[in-house]
Amino acid sequence: MIETTEQYDTERIRRDFPILNQYVNDRPLIYFDNAASSQKPIPVIESLREYYTHYHSNIHRGVHHLAQLATEGYEAARTKVKNHLNASKREEIIFTYGTTDGINLVAQAWGRANIAAGDIILISALEHHSNMVPWQQVAQEKGASIEVIPIDDHGTLDQEAYAQLLAKKPKLVAFNHVSNALGTINPAKEMIAAAHAAGAITLLDGAQAIPHLKVDVKDLGCDFYAFSGHKAYGPTGTGVLYGKEALLEAMPPWRGGGEMIASVSYTESTYNALPYKFEAGTPNIADTIALGVAIDYLNELGVENIAAHEHELTTYATEQMMNIPDMRIIGQSPDKAGVISFLVGEIHPFDLGTLLDKLGIAVRTGHHCTEPLMNRLGIPGTIRASFAAYNTKREIDQFMVSLERCVGMLS
């Protein structure tokens, strides 16, 4: 099977990910749980080793050599993220601990200052809990309400219903760029333009988009964009919140402490400039520097090349899976990222996932932190296979053999 083209050499890419080269339960590991978290390439791992071996120090507050190196590394990562997202300014890039943290920042800093009693916060039926719960907390505190853009049975957002909901003039529209549970790629640019025309502020949850799509915040036009580093070949505990400068400027800080202040007395403080106003305390320095390396890695492979590869894998796997009796692919939006959520007959996802693990295959099972979506679809959860740059058709062939075997055992 030829999977190597001049532009895209899967075998070479796999050599960058030492974790893939191991046996699990006496079988070669097949890692299809990339939507939960991707594996890390050698340059990212090396960056962490290099940092702690040679230049660890706290940042922004030391005049000494190591402090300067660490500060330069951390701020260089900010520039890489700014360029990657095509943001206008470095000040618009806030480092967070992940998507959840970024959305909470917006909910607590922007939401608590701007959402009032009677306001509507519009989310979508596809949302991850982390783009629901923070809004529920603000809505409860302020007496606002939450409304939901519905989906059709394929997992595509209903744009007519969206237009009707926008007519109610929501204060905020928050939705994911790509659904983690179904893989649906939402028409973000059009939806953001419509939200703005209705006078709403927009937040995009980009957790599942960053590893698979070229994201350009200027082109999208969104007000806020949140993502996690660990799903895009970077370390856990890293993330980014992009926000338009004017909005970030007008927002009060969320967390208080060192670094986010300009001056402090015993009774009151003034706050630092952007982006530091939102980065209280010693940040995750080593991992954030390594996130910059992950972004370099992503760009070296080319996000478009990765997306094309993953699309090929998704189509290849879906076609074969459909031949399994009683197979239900959950989420069949025409525009879909490398995620296949499925159920087979009455088999419980947990049982199938556990058996696949015995054969060395890592998939995720359950509600994928989208419990309301699973309720809407009338299912307890799914089995989810999700692909990354390093997965291969050979792995899918092995997955199919194992899947058929497990289904046979459990039917």
Nearer of residues 308 and 369 to ligand C6P, judged by Cβ: 369
Binding mask 174-203 for ligand C6P (x = CB under 6 A): --x---x-----------------------
Is the N-terminal amide bond of 283 cis, ω within 30° of 0? no
Taking the complex as a whole, the smallest distance from the CB of residue 118 to ligand C6P amounts, in Å, to: 28
Contacts to ligand C6P from residues 328-367, by CB under 6 A: 364
Candidate residues 38, 124, 130, 391; the one interacting with ligand C6P per rule CB under 6 A? 130
Nearer of residues 70 and 298 to ligand C6P, judged by Cβ: 298
Nearer of residues 180 and 333 to ligand C6P, judged by Cβ: 180
Under 8 Å between Cβ of 231 and 244: no
The closest of 107, 95, 137 to 277, measured between CA atoms, is 95
The 3-state secondary structure of 319-374, one letter per residue: HHHCCCCCEEEECCCCCECCEEEEEECCCCHHHHHHHHHHCCEECEEECCCCHHHH
The closest of 2, 11, 21, 46 to 297, measured between CA atoms, is 46
Nearer of residues 10 and 179 to ligand C6P, judged by Cβ: 179
Return phi, psi of residue 176, to 5°: -90, 150
Contacts to ligand C6P from residues 201-260, by CB under 6 A: 205, 207-208, 228
Q: How far apart are CA 181 and CA 35, in angstroms?
A: 9
- Residue 35 touching ligand C6P (CB under 6 A): yes
Candidate residues 121, 368, 396, 403; the one interacting with ligand C6P per rule CB under 6 A? 368
Q: How far apart are CA 76 and CA 51, in angstroms?
A: 14
Residues with a known catalytic role = 369
Under 8 Å between Cβ of 169 and 196: no
The closest of 91, 62, 53 to 282, measured between CA atoms, is 62
Taking the complex as a whole, the smallest distance from the CB of residue 131 to ligand C6P amounts, in Å, to: 6
Binding mask 44-83 for ligand C6P (x = CB under 6 A): ----------------------------------------
Binding mask 271-300 for ligand C6P (x = CB under 6 A): ------------------------------
Q: Which residues of the chain form contacts with ligand C6P (CB under 6 A)?
A: 35-36, 98-100, 128, 130-131, 176, 180, 205, 207-208, 228, 364, 368-369
